[in-house]
Structure 1
Amino acid sequence: MSQFVVSGTEQINGEISVSGAKNAALPVAMASLMGHGESVLCDIPDLRDIRNIVKIIDSLGAEVEYKNNQLTVNPDAVDKIQVPEDLAQELRASYYILGAFLARHGQAETTIPGGCDIGDRPIDLHLKGFKALGAEVTIDGTFVHIEAEKLTGAKIYLDYPSVGATMNIIMAASMAEGKTVIENAAREPEIVDLANYLNVMGAEIKGAGTDVIRIEGVEELTGTEYTIIPDRIEAGTYLIMGAVTGSELYVDNVLVEHIKPLVAKLKEMGVRIEEDVDGVKVNAKSDLKAVDVKTLPYPGFPTDLQAPFMVLLTQAEGESKVIETVFENRFAHVEELKKMGAEIKEKKIGHTAVVHQTPLTGTEVRATDLRAGAALILAGLVAEGETTIKEGYHIERGYENVIDKLRGVGIDIKKIGNS
């Protein structure tokens, strides 16, 4: 089991580049199975989750090749409809086979998927959408089977703007007969990326990025070439990294419109932000001010940046509050930060954490999930001494070449063991 060892640093400097978005690459990779012929997907980050989805695509019988951040998929030889159970448990995004294969093959099977343990993430809204389109759903324990002789467009209202459900329903509806309207849809940039890819393949999807998406079903899709958007969560983590170390850092390959809530909070804390067409420079030479933050579905403050941002708040003068509204178990990193000396009081009612400015001290901690792991790296940067982060494999699920990238801006970090 891998561990990351980080030494405290006064400042970092230079330029760090953002990779393609994992949370866009995963559904787009699965959607490539919907088209006839070959798709070539570019800027696909080299991550554990990506390697797992490549294994899934291969297991289904498709031709697949992944090298140099390019994923090539030809699904014409697909001869299976079920994701192997061990791979489904490794990767939550394996559930995208349901929408993709329901559209292309009329049926799909998988077990309820795994992923980070950050709270209850049921797929009931996905299944509700499939049923509305005319599919029959069978659930046996953790096993899900869906099938439909014909999918028919429908009006679907999501009780919650679920990203996964919105994506799965978009895929299924893109080849349904007639028109589908998804109301209270999620608005994340990754959804827009999926819709853009499907449209290039021949789909007719309008409104992605708003809360009402309209889809006119088409008979078939054709493989194409497509480039994934930059990862907004990786970009946000690096901006926070520059701020927490009081550094001047340029983060390259950033779409600023995707991280507006974070940029606004950084400015509120006294961090200078300079934007250009390619990226963002963060300059945090002055004292940081305490702020309150509340996570919300996009375009609100992202839950995936809550843990890294909480580390920043431990270095801000005054009292800050963090309210988590998206996942109920997203404060697992609090106990780990407390081991390092952080003064954080967690209130179970309202999912609120109250954070005070405190110096941190290096010690042994555990990455409870992907974003908690990133937060602990940031904490290690401002801690006195050395911090050892156990279960570091979580971090490599979402940050490509993280060791090399961080060393490139002057960070003393090493990996011990294999993931």
Structure 2
Amino acid sequence: MEKLIVTGEVQLTGNIRISGAKNATLPIMAATLLCSGVSVLHDVPHLSDIKAMQDILELLGAKITRDGSAVIIDTSGVSKQEIPEHLMREMRASVFLMGPLLGKFRKVRVSYPGGCAIGPRPIDLHIKALEKLGAKICESFGYIEAEAGQLTGAEIHFDFPSVGATENAMMAAVLAKGTSVIRNAAREPEIIDLQDFLNKMGAKIRGAGTDTIRIDGVQKLYPTEHIIMPDRIQAGTFLIAGAITRGDIAVENIQPEYLFSVTNKLEELGATIATSTDSIRIKAGELRGGDIKTLPFPGFPTDLQAPILSLLTVAKGTSIVTETIFENRFKHVDELTRMGARIKVEGRTAIIRGVPRMTGAVVAAPDLRAGGALVLAALAAQGVSEIEQVYHIDRGYEQLELKLQSLGARIIRSK
């Protein structure tokens, strides 16, 4: 299998353009099922998760072509409402298809989704939301079947602001009869992007980005064209890469307001941040430790917990990282320890004692964001590191080694 070979201790410098967001693209691709015709999505990243979603849509009957970063999706021939188990298991985001298929065809059958093993992510919130809208759910033999003669608007209250459940409920409700209100909705920017796409299709949604979303059901939706928002997690990873290598880089094509929790924390750790309309520049020298707690947006994102933990391993002093979203999201700690990091995990808390430098080692990416974290650690480490199981990294970071090479990193992909 392929691996990344990194020679560390190189300061990253230069400008890097951020591509479209994976976490916005996947639900929007699913949402194209709500209408019949050709929709065009721009700035779609080349990622294995995107390809997996494409495979599912094609199996359902869609015709999909790519032209650079544009993806053209023709849903005119979609007629199936069942997704095979082997495709559902490829990625967690396949659960997004329940809402659109139920909304369009009033029936859907899926198996339980797969994805990174970062802790239990039950889909009970998704199921409860669909039941509120009038769906009858049957769970048996590892499959979930949902059926509804007519979806009707409802009041939906989430016990936890789940991003996926919020988006699934939105997609199911747009074609429901009457008005739906989602309370304690997740507030992540990707939900705003989904709202914008659905409204371009003819939906009537308002409130995305707040904890209350109102959806007035419509009878029909139409194909449209849309530019995917920039990937704030990718942007945050590159900002941390600039900091951990004591570099000077500018991250471009972003929405800085969505990264305030990250840039504020990097400034607390000693980095210098300069923000413009659509870019952030980071310069860093010696860094100091600090405390970080992951929270739903607008708090510090759980998807950047692993990357910033790598940074804290070489920051001066002691740091504490508390993970509140996923309970198994410290799998990268054992790999960082191989590189000389001093980290102790107690439940959902990691205590990090900074070391002057880490050393290269052979490590394996246990999941997507942990893989990104190991690449960052290798960039700062003395000597050569080999990172195995890079297929995890390819799920969410488009051409990561090429983008890092453009900033001066000594990193190659090898078999």
Would the TM-score normalized by the shorter structure come out above 0.5? yes
> Which residue of the partner structure matches residue 78 of structure 2?
78
Q: Within 5 Å, give how 1:240-389 maps onto structure 2.
A: 240-284=240-284, 286-348=285-347, 351-358=348-355, 359-389=357-387
- Answer whether contact 1:54 1:66 (CA < 8 A) is retained: no
> Which residue of the partner structure matches residue 229 of structure 1?
229
Secondary structure of 1:361's aligned partner: coil
CA distance in 1, matches of 2:310, 2:406: 22
Runs of 4+ in 1 over 6 A off after TM superposition: none
- Answer whether contact 2:295 2:325 (CA < 8 A) is retained: yes
Secondary structure of 2:115's aligned partner: coil
CA distance in 2, matches of 1:10, 1:70: 34
> Which residue of the partner structure matches residue 405 of structure 1?
403
CA distance in 1, matches of 2:48, 2:361: 26
> Which residue of the partner structure matches residue 101 of structure 1?
101
1:258-313 CA-partner distances (Å, limit 9, x unpaired): 111001001111111111122111011x3212110000011100000000000111
CA distance in 2, matches of 1:283, 1:297: 27
CA distance in 1, matches of 2:129, 2:274: 42
- Answer whether contact 2:315 2:354 (CA < 8 A) is retained: yes
Name the amino acid aligned to 1:367: A
Name the amino acid aligned to 1:278: D
1:163-192 CA-partner distances (Å, limit 9, x unpaired): 110000000011100010100000000111
Deviation at 1:141, TM superposition (A): 2.9
> Which residue of the partner structure matches residue 17 of structure 2?
17
Structure 1 regions of 5+ residues with no counterpart?
none
Deviation at 1:84, TM superposition (A): 2.0
> Which residue of the partner structure matches residue 69 of structure 1?
69
1:298-347 CA-partner distances (Å, limit 9, x unpaired): 11000000000001111211111000000000000011100111001111
1:37-96 CA-partner distances (Å, limit 9, x unpaired): 210010110000011111111100112112311111121211211112211110211111
Q: Cα RMSD over matched residues?
A: 0.9
Deviation at 1:10, TM superposition (A): 3.0
Greater displacement, 311-320 / 164-173: 311-320
- Answer whether contact 2:39 2:224 (CA < 8 A) is retained: yes
- Answer whether contact 1:118 1:328 (CA < 8 A) is retained: yes
CA distance in 1, matches of 2:282, 2:336: 24
CA distance in 2, matches of 1:10, 1:152: 58
Name the amino acid aligned to 1:12: L
Secondary structure of 1:153's aligned partner: coil
CA distance in 1, matches of 2:383, 2:55: 40
1:370-412 CA-partner distances (Å, limit 9, x unpaired): 0000000010011111111110111111111112111111111
- Answer whether contact 2:256 2:278 (CA < 8 A) is retained: no
CA distance in 1, matches of 2:364, 2:332: 8
Greater displacement, 4-13 / 388-397: 4-13
> Which residue of the partner structure matches residue 43 of structure 1?
43
Secondary structure of 1:9's aligned partner: coil
Deviation at 1:414, TM superposition (A): 1.1
Q: Within 5 Å, give how 1:109-148 maps onto structure 2.
A: 109-148=109-148
Q: What is the identity percentage for the equivalent residue pairs of Structure 1 and Structure 2?
A: 48
1:126-170 CA-partner distances (Å, limit 9, x unpaired): 000000000001111321111100000000100110011000000
The size of the alignment, in residue pairs, is 414
- Answer whether contact 1:307 1:331 (CA < 8 A) is retained: yes
Normalised by the length of structure 2, the TM-score is 0.98
Secondary structure of 2:407's aligned partner: coil
